[in-house]
Amino acid sequence: MPSVFIKTYGCQMNERDSEAVAAQLVAKGYSLAPEEAGADVILLNTCSVRDAAEQKAINKMETLIGQTRKRNNRAVLGFMGCMAQSRGQELVDQLPDVDLVLGTQKFHRAGEHLDELLNGRRDSIVDTEAEAGSEGAIREHLALGNGEARAVTAFVSIMQGCNQHCTFCIVPSTRGRERCRSIEDIVTECRGLVEQGVKEITLLGQIVNSYGKREIGVKDGKSAFVQLIEAVHAIDGLERIRFTSPHPKGYGEDLVEAYTRLPKLVENAHLPVQSGSDRVLKAMHRGYTRERFSDLVGKLRAAAPEMGVGTDIIVGFPGETDEDFAATLELCREVEFDNAFLFKYSQRRDTPAASMPDQVGQEIIEARHAELLAAVDEIRGHKLRKYIGQQMEILVEGPSRRNAARLEGRTRCNKIVILEGGPRFIGQVMEVRITEASQTTLYGDPAIHNLN
């Protein structure tokens, strides 16, 4: 059977989609190629959040076309995901050697489309039409065997799409309107993962705390999302629950309160603030003010004092002044985010912000980005050093990504911890004493646990 290689750009939703497509193809008899060279099928799962991400994928495909067609003229090359959805036939027109363009509601069609292409029944396929029920069509997860370690953590997609329509964002166009799976369906998937050895599940949605607002609604004072968390929490053998990415305005009192009574729900909240300026937040159509955001962080930290708070920030949104940027810097210092992902504003087609006046020059964006990055790095490093000498619970996820001779774990509040130890500790929840801290990582002392 043919081999397939999938390269993923972008967010955790894309990572989950790539895994689902890979699992689907393995179930049909495909093998997973360890690298591009020699693969019969190469798929790029794309991102459209920034222009740089799109250009990176297009440049990669141009390179693949030059390399792959020389060694195997019958190899199938394809785009899938958000850029595929956004550009569709345009990608084939621009790059005629592209065989497959697969939209965000068509991942479950990958196998049948590849069969047609590999068997010569079709020369190229562009499939980006909306499809009812696609949010529940793919549940596959890669189940490793033959000596390979099974995953300790897993992503579970609970919904597709977004109704928010922030003025800078192309996602509602590429992912469509919100569509939610049932609680029963999600719990069944989660229970199956736990039976395979998964200890931590991350619930995924474009705005995950919008889950089920229309389809399920409020019951006994609890939103549909909290109802879902409770149902997943009841699964025997599951150790931890995370979710991403929520919207600040979707944090109701019931969700804040859930941290106080559901021990499997870890103390970690990723809250994309995007800007510290009320004027910019209004232009972005975010639906909250700086004060409301700060109040939410305060409530979360009051409910769970060890709460790790991360965020996303866009630098250089149209019309952003020095005063607006200063407000964002001030907010970061006030809140002291544990982690922050910073993005340079990028004009996206068909978004209101792309045609707004007072577009910020690239040199200014670069300078502001560098200044903010230095500030959040300093804050993060300072906060990490405070953990030195403390004992923290970690879930050991596997070998360290930078040094396979060491193990890597994660605290409940989403800090990475590196420690010594053998493979038998992978998948265990354990206490370690923090001995060192870098700007991004903690280091744990395994001596108290006699690891070897």
Condensed to tens digits (0 to 9), the pLDDT of residues 211-257 reads 999 999 999 999 999 999 999 999 999 999 999 999 999 999 999 99
Whether 449 shows a pLDDT value over 60: the answer reads: no
Q: What are phi and psi of 143, to 5 degrees?
A: -105, 105
Report the 10 Å Cβ neighbour count for 88: 17
In this prediction the pTM is 0.92
Per-residue pLDDT tens digits for 13-62: 999 999 999 999 999 999 999 999 889 999 999 999 888 899 999 999 99
Exposed, middle or buried by CB within 10 Å (0-12, 13-18, 19+), for 305? exposed
- 196: which strand partners? none
255 Cβ neighbours under 8 A, 6+ residues apart? 209, 223, 225, 226
Asked whether residue 451 carries a pLDDT value surpassing 50, the answer given is no
Give the pLDDT confidence score for residue 369 in this predicted structure. 98
**Other CB atoms within 10 Å distance of the CB of residue 300:** 21
